[in-house]
Amino acid sequence: MPGLEDLYREIILDHYRTPRNRGELPPPARMAEGHNPLCGDEIHVYLDVQGDTIVDVKISGQGCSISQSSASMMSAAVKGKNINDVLALVKRFKQMMSIEEENADTTGEIDTSIKLGDLEALQGVVKFPVRIKCATLAWNTLVQALESPER
Amino acid sequence: MTFDASVVRRDFPVLQRVINGKPLVYLDSANTSQKPDSVITAIDHFLRNSYGPINRSAYLLASEATDAYEGARSKVRKFINAPQAHEIVFTKNATEALNLIARSWGSTNLGAGDSIVLTHMEHHANIVPWQMLAAEKGFEIRWIPLTSDGQLDLSDLNTLLDGAKAISFTAMSNVLGTITPVEQIVSAAHRAGAIAIVDACQSVPHMPTDVQAWDADFVAFSSHKMCGPSGIGVLWGRESLLDAMPPFLGGGNMIADVKLEGFKCAELPAKFEAGTPPIVEAVGLGAAVDYLTSLGMESVRAHEVEITAYAMRSLKDRYGERITIHGPTSPACRGATLSIALEGVHPHDVSQILDQENICVRAGHHCAKPLMRILGVTATARASFYLYNTESDADILTDTLVGAFDLFGM
C-alpha cells in the first residue's frame, strides 16, 4: 500500500504474525501490565531476573501490529541481557522514537553506539506520530516490570 | 423535497476538502459530526453583530444575546417535543448532563440499600458518574445484559427493576448502533416505581425524538454530534423532578439571592446554569436544530437506514466471513454505526490503512470498555454514517479494506 511501506516493514509484519517469547511466566517472576487508554492496547511483560540478568521474558496481551511487533522484537533483544544494558537500550530506543526523557539529568547519557538491529525497522513509526505510543508501550511496561518486586 | 445526501454534502465546507487529490470520506460522526454552512454562518453573524452577556444588562446587545440564547432553548424544546422550555438545561456536554443527574438527583435520592439499573452497552459517561456516586453512597448497580446479536436482553427486566430507584440507559449504542426499545423500558421502570434516564446522544442526531412519547424523566444529549458546535450539551428533565433537586454547580446566574448566611436558588433553568453559559455554542446549536428540521428527521433516518443497508451489504458481499459487523443485522433496528472486525487485522491497523484514502473512522474502545470485554475484543474499527454520507463513501470504504487484507492477511 503506497505511503505505508515505512510503517509496515516486512520484519514488523513477521514479528506480528509470529511473535517471539509469547506467553506468561509463573510467580515469582516479575510482571507489569501496560495499557494504552486511548486505543485499548494491553501488554503484559513477565521477567525472570536472576542477579543482574534477565534470564527469561514472556509477553502477553493484545494490540495492533506496531505494539505487538515492538513487544516481540523487544523480548528478543533483552532476553539474556544485563539489566544495565537493557536500560541503556530502552533509552536508545526511545531516542529513536523521538521521545525526550523528562528528567534527562538523572537518566544519564544516551549511548548511541548501541546497536538496535531489527528494532531499527520501527524507525518509520516516527512519521506517524499517533502510532509512537503503540511502539513504546511494551518498553514502558518493561521498565515497570524491572522496577516491580517478585510476585 | 426528496432527501439527497450528495446535495446535503455540499452544505458542509470541510467535506469539500481534497487531500492528496482525493476527497474526504468522513465516517466518524458517532464520535463528532461536521458542521454545515448555516451553523458556521450563524455563529459568525452572532459574534460579529450581537454578542453580549445574557440575563444581566439593559443595553441592546445584552438583550439580543439573551434573545438568541433563549431562542436556542425554545428551538431545542420543540425539536425533542419537551413540554416546557425551562425544562431544557444547557450544560457543557452530555457527560456533564449525566453527571448533573447523578450528583443532584442521585445524591439526594440514593443511599445504602438502594439500587439503580444500567446496561452492558453504556458509554463510560453513563457508567462512571454512577460508580463514583455508588462508591460514596453504597447503593447497588444492576446490569441489563446483551443478547448474542447485540440487543438488550430484557428477559429479566422486571426482576432487575424490582426495588430499583432509577434506570439509566442508551437510546442507541455508540458501538453497536443498536436502537433500544425506550418506551418499553421507561414504562417498565415506571411500573416498578423507578425513574427513567435516557442517554440520547446517539439517537437525537439521527431520528425524530419525542420525549413525551418516551415518557422519560431525564434525557441527555450533545450538540456536537448533531451538526452543532462542541462545548454545549442538553439536559431535559421533568419540571417536578428538576424543581425538587438541589443545584449542581454554584455561582453566578443560578441564584435568586445571596446573603452572608446563605443563598436562594434561581428558578429553572437558571438554577442549573451556573456562571456564564455557552452562549455562542447555544446559538450554533439553535442553527443546527433549524438545519436538521429543514431536512426533516424522518428523512434523515430513512437515509441512514438506506446507507446502512447498502454499506453492510457491500462489506458482506465482498468479504463474507472474513469481516464481522458487530451488533444487530437488520438496518431497521440499528443506527448507521458499524463496528467492524477484520479477520487477522487489528482495528488500529485498519484505521491507518483507511487514512491513506482520507477515510476517517474511529479505532479503539469507544469509551465503552465493559462492552468491549463482553464482545471479547480490546478495540473495534467503527465507521459511522450520517446525513452527508453517500453510497460513494461506502464504496470507498469497502474498496480500501482490500489493502488491509492484502497487507495483514495470514
Q: 3-state secondary structure string, B57-95? A: CCCHHHHHHHHHHHHHHHHHHHHCCCCCHHHEEEECCHH
Can you read off the three cell numbers belonging to residue B143? 446490569
Residues B108 and B90 occupy one common structural domain: yes
Q: Which of residues 338-367 of B touch A (CB under 8 A)?
A: 346-349, 352-353, 356, 363-365
Task: Tell me, yes or no, whether B403 lies in a domain.
Answer: yes
pLDDT digits (tens, 9 = 90+) for B58-81: 899 999 999 999 999 999 999 999
Say how many C-beta atoms besides its own lie within 10 A of residue B86's C-beta: 17
pLDDT digits (tens, 9 = 90+) for B192-226: 999 999 999 999 999 999 999 999 999 999 999 99
d(CA B42, CA B35): 11
From residue B153, give the alpha-carbon distance in Å to each of A102, B72, B121, B176. 49, 38, 11, 14
The closest of B192, B193, B238 to B215, measured between CA atoms, is B238
Q: Map grid coordinates 525472570 to a residue.
A: A48
Question: Is some CB atom of chain B closer than 8 A to the CB atom of A8?
Answer: yes
Question: Is some CB atom of chain A closer than 8 A to the CB atom of B402?
Answer: no
The closest of B207, B278, B222, B291 to B35, measured between CA atoms, is B291
Residues B248 and B136 occupy one common structural domain: yes
Residues B204 and B114 occupy one common structural domain: yes
Residues B24 and B167 occupy one common structural domain: no
CATH code of residue B194:
3.40.640.10
Question: Is some CB atom of chain B closer than 8 A to the CB atom of A131?
Answer: yes
Can you read off the three cell numbers belonging to residue A21? 517469547
Whether residue B367 lies in the annotated active site:
yes
Residues B306 and B288 occupy one common structural domain: no
Give the domain-ending residue among B250, B277, B294.
Answer: B294
Task: Tell me, yes or no, whether B80 lies in a domain.
Answer: yes
Give the domain-ending residue among B269, B294, B319.
Answer: B294
CATH classification (class only), A10-147: alpha beta
Residues B208 and B108 occupy one common structural domain: yes
Looking at residue B358, its amino acid is N
Residues B219 and B333 occupy one common structural domain: no
Domain of residue B171 covers 40-294
Residues B282 and B300 occupy one common structural domain: no
Question: Is some CB atom of chain A closer than 8 A to the CB atom of B401?
Answer: no
Chain B nearest C-alpha distance from A46 (Å) = 20
d(CA A103, CA A111): 16
Residues B174 and B277 occupy one common structural domain: yes
Total structural domains within chain B: 2
Q: B407–A41: do the CB atoms touch at under 8 Å?
A: no
Residues B21 and B79 occupy one common structural domain: no
Q: B348–A63: do the CB atoms touch at under 8 Å?
A: yes
Q: B378–A40: do the CB atoms touch at under 8 Å?
A: yes
- Which chain A residue is nearest to residue B356, measuring alpha carbons? A3
User: Which residues of chain A make contact with B380, given a CB cutoff of 8 A?
Assistant: none
Handedness of CA B119, B122, A40, B334 (dihedral sign): positive
Chain A nearest C-alpha distance from B21 (Å) = 14
Question: Is some CB atom of chain B closer than 8 A to the CB atom of A16?
Answer: yes
Task: Tell me, yes or no, whether B34 lies in a domain.
Answer: no
At residue B378's C-alpha, the angle toward residues A136 and A63, to 5°, is 30
Give alpha helix (H) positions in B87-192: 94-100, 107-109, 128-137, 157-161, 182-191
How many residues are listed for chain A in this entry? 151
Residues B177 and B242 occupy one common structural domain: yes
d(CA B294, CA B37): 14
Task: Tell me, yes or no, whether B56 lies in a domain.
Answer: yes
CATH code of residue B14:
3.90.1150.10
Q: A63–B353: do the CB atoms touch at under 8 Å?
A: no
Domain residue spans of chain A: 10-147
Q: pLDDT tens per residue, chain B (410 residues)?
A: 689 999 999 999 999 999 999 999 999 999 999 999 999 999 999 999 999 999 878 899 999 999 999 999 999 999 999 999 999 999 999 999 999 999 999 999 999 999 999 999 999 999 999 999 999 999 999 999 999 999 999 999 999 999 999 999 999 999 999 999 999 999 999 999 999 999 999 999 999 999 999 999 999 999 999 999 999 999 999 999 999 999 999 999 999 999 999 999 999 999 999 999 999 999 999 999 999 999 999 999 999 999 999 999 999 999 999 999 999 999 999 999 999 999 889 999 999 999 999 999 999 889 999 999 999 888 899 999 999 999 999 999 999 999 999 998 75
Specify whether the CB–CB gap between B278 and B92 falls below 8 A.
yes
Residues B283 and B302 occupy one common structural domain: no
Give the domain-ending residue among B261, B278, B294.
Answer: B294
